[in-house]
């Protein structure tokens, strides 16, 4: 996104980059789209978004290993997965579409502690009843993957969590004991294969 913004307005791109680094260093989420709209308005944002979609079609925007992880999940007996993301609905939807994931069930939440939100899905029958946005299905177990340490706050102890480490790991020491820090999505595939193999 920053590269596309730079083609449109180099000063805006510099401000965007600075704000992005500042919020990520604090371990917080940042909506690039909202920042751009605040600075240049929705009409200019639409032009930038159109260029972003065109650029995205020429490269894979997903984290390395994401497609392999999705392929692995499809080999499992219960292959349901979805995206739970925090932030601006328009900004998050833009990124998801640009990444080619528009057909994946998606919940855009305003709860920064996603683990706490996941805890509310557990019902008296002991199962997790997923929101309609994530298919409305029930699950015995949830494997939750995120790259922000604070996202795991409140995650139930019977959920499996993987924190994908990055250079922005403020708060990593506060993750629940059941959350496993990994350096890549490939490590998650290996760990899950080992965990699920009898």
Asked: is 66-196 a CATH 3.40.50 domain? The reply is: yes
Q: Cα–Cα distance between 187 and 132 in angstroms, integer? A: 30
Residues 64-91 pLDDT 10s: 999 999 999 999 987 789 999 988 898 8
* pLDDT at 2 exceeding the cut of 60: yes
Residues of the chain with pLDDT > 70, as a percent, come to 92
Q: Which residues contact 82 (CB under 8 A, 6 or more apart)?
A: 104, 105, 106, 107, 130, 133, 134, 135
Enter the DSSP assignment of 123. -
Q: Cα–Cα distance between 40 and 24 in angstroms, integer? A: 22
**Every domain range in the chain assigned CATH 3.40.50:** 66-196
Residues 110-141 pLDDT 10s: 898 999 999 999 999 999 999 999 999 999 99
Confidence of residue 40 (pLDDT cuts 50, 70, 90): confident
pTM: 0.81
Neighbours of 173 (CB within 10 A): 7
């Amino acid at each position: 996104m920053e590269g596309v913004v730079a083609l449109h307005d180099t000063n805006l791109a510099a401000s965007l980059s600075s704000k992005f680094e500042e919020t990520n260093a604090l371990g917080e989420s940042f909506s690039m789209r909202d920042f751009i709209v605040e600075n240049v308005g929705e009409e200019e944002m639409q032009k930038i978004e159109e260029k972003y979609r065109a650029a995205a079609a020429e490269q894979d925007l997903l984290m390395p290993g994401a497609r392999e992880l999705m392929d692995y999940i499809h080999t499992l007996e219960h292959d349901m997965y979805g995206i739970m993301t925090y932030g601006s609905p328009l900004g998050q939807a833009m990124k998801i579409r640009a990444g080619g994931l528009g057909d994946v069930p998606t919940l855009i939440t305003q709860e920064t502690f996603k683990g706490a939100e996941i805890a509310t899905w557990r019902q008296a029958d002991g199962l997790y009843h997923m929101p309609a946005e994530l298919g409305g299905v029930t699950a015995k177990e949830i494997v939750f993957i995120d790259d922000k340490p604070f996202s795991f706050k409140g995650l139930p102890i019977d959920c499996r969590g993987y924190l994908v480490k990055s250079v922005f790991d403020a708060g990593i020491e506060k993750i629940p004991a059941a959350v496993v820090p990994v350096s890549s999505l490939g490590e998650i595939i290996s760990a899950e294969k080992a965990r699920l193999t009898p």
